[in-house]
């Protein structure tokens, strides 16, 4: 049963329900796959004993007729979510030995649903990056071409799902960190509305932008997973009380009559001819499903990248101040005084990209520059949100590319931070506006995956999943997989 890891989450649920295989056999198949594909560096920590123990409990509960539908299904968590008794490193030397004393709310809900945790997934340090090259534990490699990046910061989550190491992975998205790696790896990634999923126990990068979500192999798999992690959490003051719908039941609602907006700012000269053709095929598919395509304007979208790269580093500067060698994190040996303790602990514990963003953020918040940078960026953020709200008076969803191109080579953009930041050009605006967005496979360009992005009004995740599901019923893009698995 070594090929059980090739099954989708839905197929795994069906197999467990019918007794075609046990949860222990299913989990072992995934652990074997993790071991075989260790060179991808997708995992930082593998919790094999814990996963098998949970699977055994699921098998026993199923014999008694007491198991939940998800009992024993494997899952892996981005190493930004705290896990009681298990390392939570955030991909940083600053926390390489940190063992959380509690579970993040997302992790707790997954455990309550019966998932078996395979381990913790690699990421850009403190979720700061677009390539997963910034991890203190080495870069993650794209299963489609191991000389290329899987995207970031949730590169470990995307690579693990693409390589069939897990059917579902938790991830986080601050400016595209779920959607961009999903596009680069041919997987499906959903960033819910800000506040839809609890951030309690999720180590903060930029608190007003961070949002937990999922990466899976189909829209239906995402719908099942989102039903588990979505919902109000009293421990998170930003958590929404909005009622959680039945995402899976909504998948089959017809696309007939839906209006899908095409923002002109997404379909400009920056888009390559190949990417344009891939999006054209998606548009034709949507039209055939009965959707109406209309052009809309997002006039302030061109300011999204500069606004984001002021706001996010500013919040990071504040959030990461706790890692000082005293309260949390790496502590230098034999400090000469308190200043030496702070500077050397942070200098040794943080990587170069984290230091860069802390410096940018501290500068933007400093006296004399706050109004010129941070305040101005927040004003632009409000204008961008208003643009989206205006667009959604004309349409039900927005369609665009997820990324400017396919996955680039490892090291290709490491020396050019601005080029790296521009990888987020199509994704950061939804975070600034707090909107839900999803990336879904749109085929291959030169043998590498490419994705299309759907954006919706606040709390309309079901609409995103519904449209993507219908596309996946008439295409096979989401079923493509890397060779050699």
For the stretch 368-413, pLDDT in tens is 889 989 999 999 999 999 999 999 999 999 999 999 999 999 999 9
The Cα–Cα gap between 356 and 350 comes to: 10
Q: What digits encode the pLDDT tens for the residues 462-477?
A: 999 999 999 999 999 9
177 is catalytic: yes
Give 32's DSSP letter: H
**Architecture of the CATH domain 4-250+437-451:** Alpha-Beta Complex (3.90)
Instruction: Mark out the alpha helices in 273-351 (DSSP H runs).
Output: 273-288, 304-319, 338-349
Q: Classify residue 336 by burial, with Cβ atoms within 10 Å: 0-12, 13-18, 19+.
A: exposed
Res 485: pLDDT: 80
pLDDT of residue 269: 74
Domain map (residue ranges) of the chain? 4-250+437-451
SS3 content of the chain, % helix, strand, coil (to 5): 45, 15, 40
Residue 2: predicted pLDDT: 60
d(C-alpha 87, C-alpha 47), whole Å:
10
User: Degrees (nearest 5) of the Cα angle 430, 123, 239?
Assistant: 45
Asked whether the bond before 141 is cis by omega within 30 degrees of 0, the reply is no
Catalytic hit among 177, 198, 218, 240 = 177
* pLDDT tens figures, 17-65: 999 999 999 999 999 999 999 999 999 999 999 999 999 999 999 999 9
Let me know if 120 is a catalytic residue: no
Known catalytic residue at 272:
no
pLDDT below 70 — which residues of the chain? Answer: 1-2
Choice among 8, 22, 78, 154 that is catalytic? 78
Ordered DSSP codes for 463-479: HHHHHHHHHHHH--GGG
Question: Which position among 130, 135, 153, 198 bears the catalytic label?
Answer: 153
């Amino acid at each position: 049963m070594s090929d059980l890891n090739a099954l989708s989450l839905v197929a795994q649920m069906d197999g467990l329900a019918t007794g075609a295989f046990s949860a222990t056999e299913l989990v072992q198949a995934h652990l074997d796959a993790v071991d075989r594909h260790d060179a991808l560096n997708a995992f930082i920590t593998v919790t094999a004993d814990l996963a098998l123990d949970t699977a055994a409990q699921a098998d026993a509960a199923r014999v008694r007729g007491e198991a939940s539908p998800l009992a024993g299904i494997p899952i892996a968590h981005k190493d930004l979510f705290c896990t009681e008794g298990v390392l939570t490193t955030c991909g940083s030397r600053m926390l390489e030995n940190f063992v959380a004393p509690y579970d993040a709310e997302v992790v707790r809900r997954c455990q309550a649903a019966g998932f078996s945790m395979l381990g913790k997934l690699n990421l850009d340090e403190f979720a700061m990056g677009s390539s997963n090259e910034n991890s203190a534990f080495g870069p993650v490699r794209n299963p489609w071409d191991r000389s290329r990046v899987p995207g970031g910061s949730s590169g470990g989550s995307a690579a693990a799902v693409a390589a069939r190491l897990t059917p579902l992975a938790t991830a986080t998205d601050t400016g595209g960190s779920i959607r961009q790696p999903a596009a680069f790896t041919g997987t499906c990634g959903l960033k819910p509305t800000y506040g839809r999923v609890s951030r309690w126990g999720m180590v903060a990068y930029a608190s007003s932008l961070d949002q937990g979500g999922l990466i899976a192999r189909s829209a239906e798999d995402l719908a099942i997973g989102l039903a588990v992690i979505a919902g109000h959490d009293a421990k998170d003051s930003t958590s929404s009380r909005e009622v959680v719908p039945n995402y899976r039941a909504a998948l089959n609602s017809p696309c007939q009559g839906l209006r899908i907006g095409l923002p002109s700012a997404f379909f400009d000269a920056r888009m390559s001819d190949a990417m344009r053709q891939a999006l054209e095929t998606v548009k034709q598919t949507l039209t055939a499903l009965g959707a109406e395509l209309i052009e809309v304007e997002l006039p302030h979208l061109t300011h999204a990248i500069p606004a984001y790269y002021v706001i996010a580093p500013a919040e990071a500067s504040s959030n990461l101040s706790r890692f000082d060698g005293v309260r949390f994190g790496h502590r230098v040996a034999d400090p000469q005084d308190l200043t030496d303790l702070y500077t050397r602990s942070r200098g040794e514990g943080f990587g170069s990209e984290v230091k860069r963003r802390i410096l940018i953020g501290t500068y933007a918040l400093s006296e004399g520059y706050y109004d010129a940078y941070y305040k101005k960026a927040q004003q632009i953020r409000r204008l961008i949100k208003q643009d989206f709200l205006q667009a959604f008076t004309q349409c039900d969803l927005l369609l665009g590319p997820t990324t400017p191109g396919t996955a680039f080579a490892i090291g290709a953009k490491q020396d050019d931070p601005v080029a790296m930041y521009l990888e987020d050009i199509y994704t950061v605006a939804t975070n600034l506006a707090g909107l839900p967005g999803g990336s879904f496979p749109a085929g291959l360009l030169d043998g590498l995956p490419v994705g299309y992005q759907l954006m919706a009004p606040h709390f309309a995740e079901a609409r995103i999943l519904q449209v993507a599901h219908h596309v996946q019923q008439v295409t096979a893009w989401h079923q493509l997989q890397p060779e050699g698995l």
